[in-house]
Amino acid sequence: MTEPEALDHPQQDTTNTMEQYILSIDQGTTGTTALLIDRNGHVQGRGYAEIDQYYPQPGWVEQDPGDIWQKTLQAIEQAKRSASASDAHIAAIGIANQRETTLLINKETGESLGHAIVWQCRRTAPRCDDLRSQGLGEMIRAKTGLVIDAYFSGTKLEWMLSSLEGVRQLAEQGEALFATVDTWLIWKLTGGTAHATDISNASRTMLFNIHTLDWDDDLLKVFGVPRAMLPEVRPSSGVFSCTPGGIPVAGVAGDQQAALFGQACFEPGMVKVTLGTGAFVLMHTGKAPAHSKHGLLTTIAWDTGDAVEYALEGSIFVAGAVIQWLRDELGVIADAAESEQLANEARDTGGVYFVPAFAGLGAPHWDMYARGTIIGLTRGTRKCHLVRAALESIAYQVCDVVRAMTADSRLSPPEIRLDGGAAANNFLAQFQADILGVKLSRPLSVETTALGAAYLAGLAVGFWKDRAELASLWEAGQHFLPAMERERREALYRGWRRAVRRSQRWLR
């Protein structure tokens, strides 16, 4: 970000005659989006920049934190140019981020120590097996709401401390700092004045106790993590620090919690589904954690300064990424938008099921050793069948989670709010409604992750008054009503479950 003009009184400056915006940074797995959002919740400026991923070994996924930062700056500058805005127009900054991705900051230089380990990386799967064999699963779940899985930050950080030369000594001295992506962006935006994270991101590390609301000494001991390297945990809405020019960084949340907030799911029982690189289903459960017996996660939704609120979550590792795979690795389609047209060319998949377990299976199965499976192929299978099966796989995985969520909560939501890049695919949205048997509502703006980060920041600086005002900004763009007969729905879903069983424990 270029050196911003000073805001002498950033929290009061929103009342002057200059048009003011919230700058929302949505730092995702494949790229960074920056939006300038006005008081009506409308996007007035937009920027986007892709980031590179590295695959040094099978199952390993890394990113360069320096690249994340530079691409964030590019997206911000593009957003400002598109709105003819300067830093003086920015009332506050909100951040939403890919969550469990783990990196280290060199406190002395202010730069990263090596690459980040991305949330999709499976290098610590054997360590997770070891932890389970020690009988630590129940203790970890009781404290964190999470299952033991390589998805979360704890084993990633442990690997860095044991595998990167000299890092443990620096960590014990507080010179190597643990960061998730939000912490990294806060650090860079504020010139290193704040080493902090918000409570929603902390709850995804497998190191944070969601009941005591602090880093847990027992867990730090299990993973060998020095407390000196941990960031300060703050509420999701509140001023973390300011840029050198005085713009407050005032709202931070993990991307899925931000999307729940951006969808105005403020009441217990409200559900949103985000279809991005992965797919994530969250149900707001109120001010007390709801424990799952069906493979879901208990997670912190947010803290807006008055109380911590919780959610049930189902995390699906591969959703929109399966369409990227068809495009980039197989060359089956030229662009993601082509998938909708091809899917509509086929009446059905011709009996083909596609289980995209490229990085194992997440909720509710939690199988690190499952692998991608395409089953039911015949000589008559065509490209349109494969593409349709890939899109349907996203909806089936969401259905797995929603059914588990309904069993845990004993709530059957009459409506599910849909967002994310893949939600723009009308075939997928309609099939999702059909296979769930539930009305889906897609908002006018599907970029609700960025909106949620903006709303959290805006509440902190008085840009918006309260949640009631935010709820009034939510606008439905399109509704999708289930049209499939129940018998057909259940038959298709049984086929999906058979295909999933074939994919499981493939590497064992």
The pLDDT tens digits for 294-328 are 889 999 999 998 889 999 999 898 999 999 999 99
Fold of the 13-255 domain = Nucleotidyltransferase; domain 5 (3.30.420)
Give the pairing type, strands 90-97 and 248-254.
parallel
Partners of residue 63 on adjacent β-strands: 116
Q: What span, in angstroms and rounded, lies between the C-alpha atoms of 359 and 61?
A: 10
Q: Is the pLDDT assigned to residue 11 strictly greater than 50?
A: no
Q: What is the mean pLDDT of residues 63-88?
A: 95
Q: What span, in angstroms and rounded, lies between the C-alpha atoms of 210 and 269?
A: 20
Q: Please give the pLDDT value at position 6.
A: 30
At 2, the pLDDT band (50, 70, 90 cuts) reads very low
Q: Is the pLDDT assigned to residue 15 strictly greater than 50?
A: no
Mean of per-residue pLDDT scores for the chain: 91
Q: What is the mean pLDDT of residues 250-275?
A: 93
Q: Is the pLDDT assigned to residue 181 strictly greater than 50?
A: yes
- Residue 286 makes CB contacts below 8 A (sequence gap 6+) with 268, 309, 310
Q: Is the pLDDT assigned to residue 76 strictly greater than 90?
A: yes
Region of poorest pLDDT, from 16-20, 58-62, 255-259, 285-289? 16-20
Q: What span, in angstroms and rounded, lies between the C-alpha atoms of 508 and 505?
A: 5
Region of poorest pLDDT, from 110-124, 352-366, 402-416? 402-416
How would you class 252 by CB atoms within 10 Å of its CB: exposed for 0-12, middle for 13-18, buried for 19 or more? buried
What is the 3-state composition of the chain as percent helix, strand, coil, each rounded to the nearest 5? 35, 25, 40
Percent of the chain scored above 70 by pLDDT? 97
Nearest to 171 by CA among 215, 231, 228: 228
Q: What span, in angstroms and rounded, lies between the C-alpha atoms of 432 and 411?
A: 19
At 336, the pLDDT band (50, 70, 90 cuts) reads confident
At 17, the pLDDT band (50, 70, 90 cuts) reads low
Q: Please give the pLDDT value at position 4.
A: 38
Q: Please give the pLDDT value at position 8.
A: 36
Q: Which helix (H) or strand (E) holds 131?
A: helix 125-133
What is the architecture, at CATH level 2, of domain 320-399+487-501?
A: 2-Layer Sandwich (3.30)
What SS3 string covers 176-208?
EEEEEHHHHHHHHHCCCCCCEEEHHHHCCCCCE
Q: What is the mean pLDDT of residues 487-499?
A: 96
Q: Please give the pLDDT value at position 165.
A: 87
Query: In this predicted model, what pLDDT tens digit does every residue of 142-174 receive, in sequence order?
Result: 999 998 989 899 999 999 999 998 999 999 988
Q: Please give the pLDDT value at position 5.
A: 36
Query: In this predicted model, what pLDDT tens digit does every residue of 464-485 receive, in sequence order?
Result: 999 999 999 998 899 999 999 9
Nearest to 383 by CA among 324, 327, 430, 428: 327
CATH superfamily of domain region 257-315+413-486: ATPase, nucleotide binding domain (3.30.420.40)
- Residue 15 makes CB contacts below 8 A (sequence gap 6+) with none
Nearest to 283 by CA among 417, 190, 149, 111: 417
Q: Is the pLDDT assigned to residue 18 strictly greater than 80?
A: no
How would you class 71 by CB atoms within 10 Å of its CB: exposed for 0-12, middle for 13-18, buried for 19 or more? buried
Query: In this predicted model, what pLDDT tens digit does every residue of 401-450 receive, in sequence order?
Result: 999 998 888 878 889 999 888 888 999 999 999 999 999 999 988 789 99
Q: Please give the pLDDT value at position 354.
A: 96
Q: In the chain, which segments carry CATH 3.30.420.40?
A: 13-255, 257-315+413-486, 320-399+487-501
H helix runs in 148-296, sequence order: 153-163, 167-172, 181-189, 199-202, 217-223, 255-262
- Residue 169 makes CB contacts below 8 A (sequence gap 6+) with none
Q: Is the pLDDT assigned to residue 12 strictly greater than 60?
A: no
Q: What is the pTM of this model?
A: 0.86
